[in-house]
Amino acid sequence: MRYTDLQHAGAHYNEWLNSLGFYKEDLGILTTRLNEVAGKNTGDDALKDVEHFENQFEIQQQNISNLEHRIRSNMHTSSVEIRHHAGKVDEAVAAEVKVLEREMADFEKNIRQLRKDFNIFLSKWM
Burial of 94 (0-12, 13-18, 19+ CB in 10 A): buried
Give the Cα separation of 114 and 26 in Å (integer): 12
Q: What is the pTM of this model?
A: 0.89
pLDDT at residue 52 in the model = 98
Percent of the chain with pLDDT over 90: 73
For 16-75, write each residue's pLDDT tens digit. Answer: 999 999 999 999 999 999 999 999 999 999 999 999 999 999 999 999 999 999 999 999
If residue 113 lies in a helix (H) or strand (E), which one and from where to where? helix 91-125
Is the confidence at residue 3, as pLDDT, over 70? no
Size of the chain, expressed as the number of residues it contains: 126
Place 116 in a pLDDT band, splitting at 50, 70 and 90: very high
Going through 1-126 in order, the beta strands assigned E by DSSP cover 3-4, 89-90
pLDDT at residue 89 in the model = 77
Give the Cα separation of 10 and 72 in Å (integer): 11
